[in-house]
Structure 1
Amino acid sequence: MKTNSGRFFEDYSVGQVIRHAVPRTLSGERALYHALYPARGALYSSDEFAQACGLPGSPLDDLIVFHTVFGKTVPDVSLNAIANLGYAEGRFLAPVYACDTLSAQSEVIGLKQNSNGKSGVVYVRTTGTNQHGEAVLSYVRWVMVRKRDIDAPAPVTLVPELATVVAPGDLVVPEGLHFDSYDAELAGEPYRLCDYTVGEVIEHVDGVTVEEAEHMLATRLWQNTAKVHFDATFRPDGQRLIYGGHIISLARALSFNGLANAQMIVAINGGAHANPCFAGMTVRAWSEVLDKAETGVPGVGAIRLRLVATSGTGTVLRTQDGKYAPDVLLDLDYWALMPL
């Protein structure tokens, strides 16, 4: 048998290092990304704008990098996943440009079998590198994975201790980046870091209804082969689950309205896919300002944001019992660079 049925929970061990196939040279992904999502960030749209900010040209959108690296890991980490549960300690370490080639490698850093004995949670730290062997992205995620044999013995439980937030001093500002001659008019909004206050909530107004064909096209774009996104017979309800990264990109793109100058994501502090999303749902988004910081680079500040995607309206995150509201699809905590 030469086909790959993927790893099951009992196939993982703490300390295991997995080198993922297949390296990918990025070329036309930007055009497809901007066709799939209403992304309009100036730094990722214009060479001239990026050069005025000290970069050699317009890098690829940070989430293109995230999705590409994530997609590499799916056949080895989440092909038999029930759900992708969360993220932590994500750092974007260097810009990625067209014609760069990305590879990925993951280390298993934790395991915990579920009480039902039919599945367990796998924690991995994934690193994406470019063709020069330079790390461009690192993050931790944890996934609930089916067991092949429910009688297989449970591993020793190890749940890694993870930072709740990437410290501002650990944020990587791309070499050469500055906002000395930042053109807010071309960027789309006048609001700089000083115009936002901690605790402020921004409703992003617009919404996007998820279509079956679009979400599958997007997921294939990232070479994500998880069965739940394509095979309608894989879930008891007969529905294809929308890839969580698709919701992240939709919400991030919708946040342009109110946060146009939050130019580059430099860290993902944490995240949860709170409830499943299916075709036909309309995704809206709102953000809460959690913190602000200086980066040590003149003119470049960092804003910490909670980005919430919802299939409803309003800005309710949790119900009175502390659980996520049923219409909350995504709760993402991240740092972005913004002119002071």
Structure 2
Amino acid sequence: MSHGSFEKVHVAAEDRYEKPEYRRAGNSGLDLPAFSLGLWQNFGVDRPYQSQREIVLHAFDLGITHFDNADRYGPPHRAAQRFFGKVLKRDLAPYRDELILSTKAGNPIGPSPYHRGGSRKSLLASLDQSLRDLGTDYVDIFYSHSPDPTTPLEETVGALVSAVEQGKALYVGLSNYPPERTRDAAELLRQAGVPLLVHQPRYSIFDRGPELNGLLKLADEDGFGLVVYSPLAQGLLTGKYLDGIPADARARNSAFLTPDVIDDTYRRRATALNRIAEQRGQSLAQLALQWVLRRPQVTSALIGASSTWQLDHNVKALGFPPLSEEELALIDEHGVHGTGLRR
């Protein structure tokens, strides 16, 4: 990637499709990169625009074509989409047909009753604003960000179907839905002729939810892919916290990770996992990413990045030999579900 002046418009690397792995999302015709760039954290107004831009452009140069956003992402809400809209307009517009842009709606973004929930009003109004934020006519994937038990599922699903029928989204997804509600939504979507493309759950060595609640099995049965988030458990599955909490660590100022979960039990388990990684010649982060991606139901793993080095390092996870049965058994022994999770 060019590290020239900000004024210079980016020209994408010619070899960007030579190395990366792409995977088919469920029974659809769509391929997603094994790694997708998530803009959940690191892409608000509290970070320098130029370093954020460099990360996004470097990701595309690495063959990462999927950029995952939501109306909530910032800070403040919508800031991540507005940031991406600037990069799209300035640098990536010539490549729009090569990009998979996703966004979500339904989680609270303001005090208004129309700024939350799964109503038709909330979802479609948010999508219209997201398209303006991004400066694009359509998103490739539009998600219901989380289930809303106070709104009929038929209404939420109907809004997703409308987004596709209006040409504002090419595919639809669900995020954080429990398996039973996912199954019902998938059936309603199928009846409407807009099949569920992907489900976005949290999944990692320390969070086995999709294994335990039947979501992996449902993905096989219903033919959708999984785009998993927090595969590194907010940094707990990296070497960052093995010796304590660094001064600049996320655990010091995050709503999603608190210092109290970084206890002796966590350190003992993470150190044992780190030893397994070292014996394989890789980092704990690379082991954790390879572990989630070994599942055929997992189409893509969402990774965040605060530097281009981090991107390069994580993407190399696919270059290591497959995990053996013995290694997987060891990972199961030390990768206990619930480790580091807020109660």
TM bin, normalised by shorter chain, reads under 0.3
Which is richer in helix? 2
Which is richer in strand? 1
Scaled by the length of structure 2, the TM-score of the pair is: 0.25
Determine which structure has greater relative contact order: mean sequence separation of CA pairs < 8 Å that are 6+ residues apart, divided by chain length: 1
Scaled by the length of structure 1, the TM-score of the pair is: 0.25
